[in-house]
Amino acid sequence: MAQFKEALLMYYCQKFVEPNCKVEVKTDRAYLSMLMFSYYDQNFDYFLTANELDDKERAEHFDKNIIVNCHLHDFVKYADTADPNGKLTVNLCSKSNVPRQGNGLELKCGVEGATNVVWKRFGTQLVDDKHSHQLMVFDDGALFFSKVGLHHVGNYTCMDAEEETNMQVHRLQVQTLPVLTVDPVTQIHMTGSDIELRCHTEGVPKPIITWKQGGESESLTLHCMWMYTHSLSPLASI
């Protein structure tokens, strides 16, 4: 199966006219897998079935160097293990990279044969931001964000301007650095009294809070408990 995946990645990397397939097959596997998923998903329901994969395999006419002992529908058989419903989701197909807020990002369009690529969001065509250059569409059809933010989260669709049914959907998620607030920072208490420390965090995805004392993780005991509200508060007797 591993050899089959490698051959498929190289085949589609060349089919989508990527600039450096020998490198991308090793370093950009998640991106190539996303392109392949969108290409296979004929009804754009974000699921792949064995029938869809069989149809695509017949249409592709793979040579014998690719189809040896494996077929496209084997991805459903071997990857769809969490919930064996006969469908493959994009999350099972690949793990996409989530850009961090403030970083640049380039989304490449994998629509086959498109000479004039357009991008749409919420049904509206995206155009170059000539004032701040925060959003640009390159000559090769790639969509570039100079700085991604939470307001960019959502679906972006690239398509052939001459044939809009030939399209590809990109799902964009954005990660933010966690912001941590501990209140109060310094406390003085009498021995045997109860204390409460509050830790509030914000971020996307939601941060996981852990407490440490003297460099070691604090465990739940009769003298220490955690309360989950809008923040995480350990209560302890000292």
CATH architecture of the domain with range 94-172: Sandwich (2.60)
- Count of CB atoms situated within 10 Å of the CB of 53: 19
- Count of CB atoms situated within 10 Å of the CB of 8: 21
Give the per-residue pLDDT at 218: 64
Give the per-residue pLDDT at 112: 75
DSSP 46: S
Q: Please, are residues 80 and 92 in contact by the beta-carbon 8 Å criterion?
A: yes
pTM greater than the 0.85 cutoff: no
Amino acid making up residue 148: V
Give strand pairing partners of 172.
Answer: 154
238 residues of the chain, pLDDT tens digit each: 667 778 888 888 888 777 788 887 777 776 777 778 778 877 766 677 888 888 888 888 776 667 667 888 877 766 544 455 666 655 444 334 578 888 888 888 878 777 889 999 888 899 887 676 788 888 888 899 988 888 888 888 888 888 877 788 888 888 888 888 877 778 788 888 887 777 888 887 778 777 777 777 766 554 555 554 444 444 444 3
- According to DSSP H, which parts of 94-227 are helical? none
Give the per-residue pLDDT at 79: 59
DSSP 63: -
Q: Please, are residues 167 and 157 in contact by the beta-carbon 8 Å criterion?
A: yes
Give the per-residue pLDDT at 119: 92
* E strand or H helix at 6: helix 2-15
Q: What's the topology of domain 1-89?
A: Recoverin; domain 1 (1.10.238)
- Count of CB atoms situated within 10 Å of the CB of 154: 12
Extents of the domains making up the chain? 1-89, 94-172
* E strand or H helix at 48: strand 47-49
Radius of gyration of the chain (CA): 24
- Exposure class string for 17-29: b at 16+ Cβ within 10 A, else e: ebeebeebbeebb
Give the per-residue pLDDT at 10: 85
Determine whether 215 is exposed, middle or buried from the number of CB atoms within 10 Å of its CB (0-12, 13-18, 19+).
exposed
Q: What are phi and psi of 45, to 5 degrees?
A: -100, 10
Residue 86, both tokens: 């006969």
Give the per-residue pLDDT at 233: 46
Q: Can you tell me the distance from the alpha carbon of 117 to that of 99, in angstroms, rounded to the nearest whole number?
A: 23
User: Closest Cα partner for 10 from 63, 83, 82, 77?
Assistant: 63
